[in-house]
Amino acid sequence: MERYNKNKQDSIAQDIALKIQHGLYQAGTFLPSEHQLCDLYGSSRETVRRALSQLTELGLIQKIRGKGSLVLDLQRFSFPISGITSFQELNKTLEMHATTEVLQKKTAIIPAHLAAGRVDEGRTALHIERLRKIDRFPIVVDEDYLLNPPIKDVPDNAAANSLYAYFEKELGLDISYATKEITVETVSPRIAALLNLDNSKLAVVVRSMTYLANTTPFQLTASYHRPDRFKFIDFARRRKISFK
């Protein structure tokens, strides 16, 4: 296996995930039993089970009591786009051949529509505006606002490539969770022009706020997508917890 994960359970999960992705464990078949996986990885059953529960959460397998862990059939194109994934990470795994153009990078006040209910109004942050293109066609405009602290500045090449790679690998930040909101809105003439929208000026707007493991918010983003190119794919499990 040999992953860069420190944890035993994480590296087991990573290893099995790769074997599923590469067809070593085929959809519709069962994984080796938990006991066999214990032998295979030299670990206890609880550790194997924690690894399997990660794969269950991701939608890679379904556990069936008395039978085993069935590998689910997630076609490439239906692989979940939800979760916290950077555009560059998607670009790699989906082989989209996308390009990124940095349009702005300056300190600015966080606009009200992004700040509302998330962070103090009037607060300033490092604003980065980027245009994503696929095959020369504009697809997405990303408006990022990076909070200081914990982020003081961002080198130009990090903005052009992957902000997340810079945060995680260079700054050692522990990106943990995010809240997201998807709506459809009439956007400003500026955004409409960048995306080359028609008269309706409708775009899909994804607003998100991303947090570090210590619950510090560090990123506010509004992404404007061309509606004809937008596609959000999700895998969800029915929760046992109910409210009210």
Partner DNA sequence: TTTGACAGCTTGACTATACAAGTTGTATGA
Partner DNA sequence: TCATACAACTTGTATAGTCAAGCTGTCAAA
- Mark the segment that binds a copy of itself (CB under 8 A) among 98-106, 135-143, 147-155, 234-242: 234-242
Smaller CB separation from DNA, 63 or 118:
63
Which partner from the list a copy of itself, DNA, none does 44 bind, CB cut-off 5 to 8 Å by kind?
DNA
Q: At what angle do helices 45-58 and 8-21 cross, to 10 degrees?
A: 50
For a copy of itself, the binding residue among 59, 68, 111, 150 (CB under 8 A) is 59
| Residue-wise DSSP of 111-128 | PHHHHTTTS-TT-EEEEE
Distance CA 42, CA 67 (A): 22
**Alpha-carbon gap, residue 97 to 23, rounded angstroms:** 24
Are the beta carbons of 201 and 186 closer than 8 angstroms? Answer: yes
Is the backbone peptide bond immediately before 32 cis, with ω within 30 degrees of 0? no
Task: Quote the CA–CA distance of 233 and 209 in Å, as a whole number.
Answer: 19
- As a whole number of angstroms, the distance between CA 16 and CA 10 comes to 10
- Name the binder of 57 from DNA, a copy of itself, none, CB < 5-8 A by kind: a copy of itself
The 9-38 contact track toward DNA, x by CB under 7 A, reads xx--------------------x-xxxx--
Site for DNA in 196-225 (CB under 7 A): 214
Positions in the binding site for a copy of itself (CB under 8 A): 5, 7, 10, 13-14, 17-18, 21, 54-55, 57-59, 62, 64, 70, 72, 74-75, 77-78, 82-84, 89, 92-93, 117, 175-184, 200, 202, 204, 211, 213-215, 227-228, 230-244
